[in-house]
A and B are shown apart, each in its own frame.
Chain A
Amino acid sequence: MGLVWLCLLFPLAGFAINALLGRSLPRRAHGIIATVAMLAAFAVAWIVLADLLSLPHEEQHRNLILYNWVPADGFNATFGAWLDPLSVLLLLIVTGVGFVIHLFAIGYMAEEEEGQRRFFAYLNLFVVAMLVLILANNFMLLLVGWGGVGFASFALISHYFFREEAADAAVKAFVINTLGDVGMMLGIFLIWVTYGAVDYETVFRNAGNAQTGTITAITLLLLVGALAKSGQVPLHTWLPDAMAGPTPVSALIHAATMVTAGVYLLVRAWPLYELAPATLTTIAWLGAFTALFGALIGLVQTNIKRVLAFSTMSQLGYMFLAAGVGAYSAAIFHLLTHAFFKALLFLAAGVVIHAIGGEEDLRRMGGLRDKVRIAWVAYGIGGLAIAGIPPFSGFFSKDEIIYSAFTSTRGNVVLGLIALLTGGITAFYVFRSFFLTFYRTPRYGIGHGGTEAEHGHGDGLHQPGLEMRIPLIVLSVLAIVGGWVLIPDAVHLFEDYLEPVFAYPAAFNAPVHAAGGATYWMIAIGAALLGAVGIGAAYYLYVLRPALAADLAGRFAGIHRTLFNRFYVDQLYDTIFVRPTRAFGRAFSGVFERGLNGLVNGAGYLVREASVTMREVQTGYVRNYALLILGGTVLLIAYVLFTAV
């Protein structure tokens, strides 16, 4: 079990080598060092899993303490790992998916003139922070991982820092996530005040010893952090902009791992959430709303990475919905499959972008099916998975959520219908991007806008090398079979595996939804059919009758514009938060500061004016002084004479 520290150490060493010694290394070495570090961590993660599974079920939770981190008077936070099936599963996902994406990035970034060292160093650092987040054994340490991934995200979004939009996106992402951190900090303070500790063990064991109102406040404050990190409404605006980073970053951070941290937090802290029904309801509705909201916006976006970003938002909405209706294991199941198929979609998109010289606009793609065949296959598999077509992984995980939304005691028909409907929309917009990219006539022009990669040989297209193909193949396989670990009425591997997580503070028993039965299969088949309809509609509109799509967009121009501008949320925030803050700053700085300064200088001015008046007495003539002395003496004597007697 103690080996788990190696999982942290390897990427940390990779970061340190690249950051501190990297300058003397050749350009290719940076990526290899980082990738090897990830492979080592991934290998160790399996050993940790084996160790964990060798324990009896009811003992599958370990609190490994490395050292006392923040010992203060009456407060203590250790640096330690909380190992249970949940954290180890996430450990495997992060190191595993992280490894393949690192591998992919070697090829993707190979032609970058500068910044490779920085890129791979920060990528490793991100993994370290993400693992701290996952493994933390207390809320304060969780916050370290939480902030650390935010920082790594900032550093990687701003990889092309000389582009204004990348720099702005990085700052935006960090600031909004800091808002989430503020919520989490307050939540943690409240936890400490309520339970007298911040470590999971104490808090979860004593979860019930607090009033429902307090727990609701705690969970809502933690939720703020989760919403920000996972790009959920209303703190979602940073996620699409974050696509300004290199594509592997989008795949790793903004699809597979970091953004799922919010879901992880909700599930991690389930003993608290379970006691706060009001919060759960909020989560379920926010999740459902975000799922639909993201999917609708995704319908009309023209940047392939932004389409995927909104789909990430939407899929995370599903996970929030699942957590909100109490189907925690369904949320984690979807997290798992989503990590595979969304990373796959991003990497496939990356291959496309790479091939046509950095172009990300769907309107400037097309006809790439035979040019970059592997990307076509991979994107297709990812698309089928996200659309929930059996037997791809998304079918099992998404239907689990839709089923829970309908049938859970916390769910209801409206939530279920939103989830079901969103599934159809998802299939439509993902395949819209698929068809726009790979079908019909090419609309790309090689030779301009190639900032990410210079173009080269043959047909002018950049073919992916082996280091980019392997990740696609691995993730394609996983996107297909990844869902087979939980097939209702047949395979219960996943639920059995996670069961110790929800049995830990023995006082509670979270409702583990054993999906299955006729209702489940009815819903599942319905969802799959809806997905198929979505794909069909996309095919009709974007391959068979492209004119109709443009016509529809024109006919519903208002709706189209609203969706395209993402419901004007950014503009709204700009008006009600950003501008007033700036105005306050300027007003304080210009008016108030000057006023205060004026008061201080005014005091000095008064003194000076007084002395200017008084100095007239000083004539400089000796006789005047002598006269004053005389007068003073006379007065003094007079005083003595008339009072002392």
Chain B
Amino acid sequence: MSGLPILSILIFLPIVGGIICLFLPGRTDDPAAARWLGLGASLLTLLIALLALIGFAPGTSGPVLEEQAPWIPQFGISYHLGADGLNILLIALTAILTPPAIIASWTALGGRPRLFIGLLLLLEGSIIGALSSLDLILYFVFWEAMLIPMYLLISTFGGARRGYAALKFFIYTSAGSLLMLLAMLYLSYAHSSREASAAPSFDLRDLIGTQLSVAEGRWLFLAFALAFAIKLPIFPLHSWLPDAYKQAPVTVLVLATMLVKVGAYSFLRFAIPLFPDAARDLMPILAALATVGIIYGGLVAAAQRDMIRLLAYSSLAHLGFIGLGIFALDARGVQGSLLQMVNHGVSSGALFLIAGMIAARVGTFDIDAHGGLARRWPVLTGTFVLAAFSSLGLPGLNGFVGEFLILLGAFRTQRVLACIATFGVLIAAIYVLRLFRRTMFGRERRPEANAQLVSGDLSGREIAALGPLLLLIVWIGVYPSPFLRRTEAAARDTVSAVTAPAPATTALTVGATALTATAESATR
């Protein structure tokens, strides 16, 4: 297994599968071939991803499964992939979430199954690519490539205002990345002109430790941070999110939750290690914005009538937690954030699917339009209960572990913010229960019979889509240590590289970081 380019396979298996899917022979509206091809490709990807995850020994700190090949050697751009504690969980999660997305869209392919499934696979491949790139330009290519399938999915298969939402999503997020590209160029130039070994490079490992003046560091950090903050999104850069989510086909949102997490991950991968001083100085501002996002997103979510908009704003609150854990610059918080990225993908993914299933039965996303649904569909209710309480962070389920660690870490470094953010847990209870209570509880209001609508409780196919997510919800809540142990070393290294004493930071490399980290753990 060690000889195979695992990460490349993980990236290009779905991409090639997706391209094949786009150009399948036969009738355009015949779904069978596309479905099975998509499911097969995504399951194969999942299998390989799980093998990679299992093979990733807990406690590993440096990147494993590395692949490096020159791509544009004149500019020092290389095809450099690697997995470590920061991204291994997210790569696996992307692979885990794709089959449910495909299974859930089984019958909702908008009349163009090949395009739909093909785009889903392309989205998966590009997300995994962005997650595993260790070269700035390669990363940027994947980062931008993620937008294309998402844009097409929204604009082709979306709701009534899909054109508007897709355009807004695309322009907003790519506008942010332009500055990041400039910053990358500047950084590489600074590296090759100032360092003793003057070879041009865009490799993350070479660029870490580039000597920058304080002002340079801050501006570059801000350029990176802007791109990531829009993607995450951090309050107040979030206004693309509700529209994009509302208009996107609901099954795609399962993967869209991963798309936004690339933003959070990139803070840890790029912005913080590249500009440790600037990160240390500017993090409190970002942490404060994340906290505002938690409270604000929660309050706005509590005022929504549309299930998807409610969940979109709840995502804003959840992503605020994730952001806070990162920006608090505490190893516990970072570990919590990494776990919470998984949790959010799983819980919100499940909630989006369930919302779609409810809407398929009652014909609307309006939470006030139906009530008392619990009586009719007990299995649906059971899954909804589990996903909802996971989302609001019920102790014993997955969300709690992540939120607890995030807040614990933040409490150490940003005490006031942590205290405010903890009330986000309360607000989460309010909006999630409001959603649940209005739809499932209360007097039953039977919608008009409509032949278009699904009838009956969850089908086997729907259970198959939700099952893995629900399993993860319980598993991570009860036994999170396999996940936490795999992120521990990476989280510690990332944080200690920033918080290490000032003289060392200028010359730090990944290797030196690992050294100091081991020395630290030895003294502990």
Contact = CB atoms under 8 A, between A and B. Distances in A.
A616 interface: no
A162 interface: yes
A181 B385 CA distance: 19
A69 to B, nearest CB: 7
A193 B412 contact: yes
Given A67-B479, A186-B419, A584-B299, A72 B442 contact: no
A186 B424 CA distance: 12
Interface stretch (B3-11, B134-142, B261-269, B400-408): B400-408
Contact of A162 (B168, B300, B375): B375
Contacts of B488: 71-73
Interface in B386-412: 389, 392, 394-396, 400-401, 404-405, 407-408, 411-412
Interface in A35-93: 67-75
A600 B168 contact: yes
A167 B172 CA distance: 41
B491 interface: yes
Contacts of B304: 589
A190 interface: yes
A74 B331 contact: yes
A584 B389 CA distance: 24
A139 to B, nearest CB: 11
Interface stretch (B209-217, B347-355, B362-370, B426-434): B426-434
Interface string B288-310: 00000000100111111000000
B450 to A, nearest CB: 23
Contacts of A588: 296, 299-300, 303
Contacts of B335: 72-73
A175 interface: yes
Contacts of B300: 585, 588-589, 592-593
A582 B298 CA distance: 11
A146 B172 contact: no
B131 interface: no
Interface string A147-176: 110110001001001101011101100110
Contact of A74 (B240, B332, B382, B419): B332
Interface in B467-524: 479-481, 484-485, 488, 491-492, 524
Nearest to B335: A72
B299 A72 contact: no
A105 B430 CA distance: 31
Contact of A143 (B395, B419, B443): B395
B303 A582 contact: yes
Contacts of A143: 395, 400, 404
Contacts, number: 162
Contacts of A129: 396
Nearest to A20: B382
A189 B407 contact: yes
Interface in B338-385: 372, 374-375, 378, 382, 385
Contacts of B492: 73
B32 interface: no
A185 interface: yes
A597 B312 CA distance: 15
Given A72-B331, A73-B491, A73-B492, A185 B481 contact: no
B171 interface: yes
A73 B439 CA distance: 41
Interface residues of A, number: 62
A182 interface: yes
B400 A68 contact: no
Contacts of B238: 596
Contact of B479 (A69, A161, A582, A593): A69
Nearest to B375: A162
B510 to A, nearest CB: 18
B440 interface: yes
B430 A161 contact: no
A178 interface: yes
A373 interface: no
A102 to B, nearest CB: 21
A158 B374 CA distance: 11
A150 B396 CA distance: 12
B94 interface: no
A560 interface: no
Nearest to A68: B481
Interface in B213-249: 236, 238-240, 242
Contacts of B168: 600-601, 604
Interface in A119-134: 129, 132
Nearest to A583: B303
B395 A597 contact: no
A19 interface: yes
A189 B303 contact: no
Nearest to B336: A72
Interface string B432-465: 0110010011111000000000000000000000
Contact of B442 (A75, A161, A600): A161
A192 B408 contact: yes
A167 B430 contact: no
B410 to A, nearest CB: 9
B239 A161 contact: no
A185 B443 CA distance: 35
Contact of B430 (A72, A175, A189, A600): A175
Interface in A552-603: 581-582, 584-586, 588-590, 592-593, 596-597, 599-601
B425 interface: yes
Contacts of A185: 404, 407, 422, 425
A148 B299 contact: no
A541 B70 CA distance: 95
A162 B372 contact: yes
B218 to A, nearest CB: 24
A140 B480 CA distance: 14
Nearest to A172: B433
Contact of B171 (A68, A592, A604): A604
Q: Output the residue of B172, B336, B392, B441 with the most chain A CB within 10 A.
A: B441
A633 B240 CA distance: 43
A73 B404 contact: no
B517 to A, nearest CB: 10
A144 interface: yes
Given A72-B488, A178-B425, A182-B422, A586 B405 contact: no
B423 interface: yes
Nearest to B374: A161
A68 B174 CA distance: 43
B302 A582 contact: yes
A162 B303 contact: no
B394 to A, nearest CB: 5
A71 B485 contact: yes
A604 B163 CA distance: 14
Nearest to A189: B411
Given A69-B480, A71-B481, A585-B299, 4 more contacts: A72-B335, A147-B395, A174-B433, A600-B240
- Nearest first, the 8 closest Cβ-Cβ pairs linking A and B are A147-B395, A585-B303, A167-B441, A189-B411, A73-B331, A589-B303, A178-B429, A161-B441
11 contacts: A72-B405, A73-B332, A74-B524, A148-B396, A168-B437, A171-B437, A175-B429, A178-B426, A189-B412, A588-B296, A604-B168
Interface of A: 19, 67-75, 114, 118, 129, 132, 140, 143-148, 150-151, 155, 158, 161-162, 164, 166-168, 170-171, 174-175, 178-179, 181-182, 185-186, 188-190, 192-193, 581-582, 584-586, 588-590, 592-593, 596-597, 599-601, 604
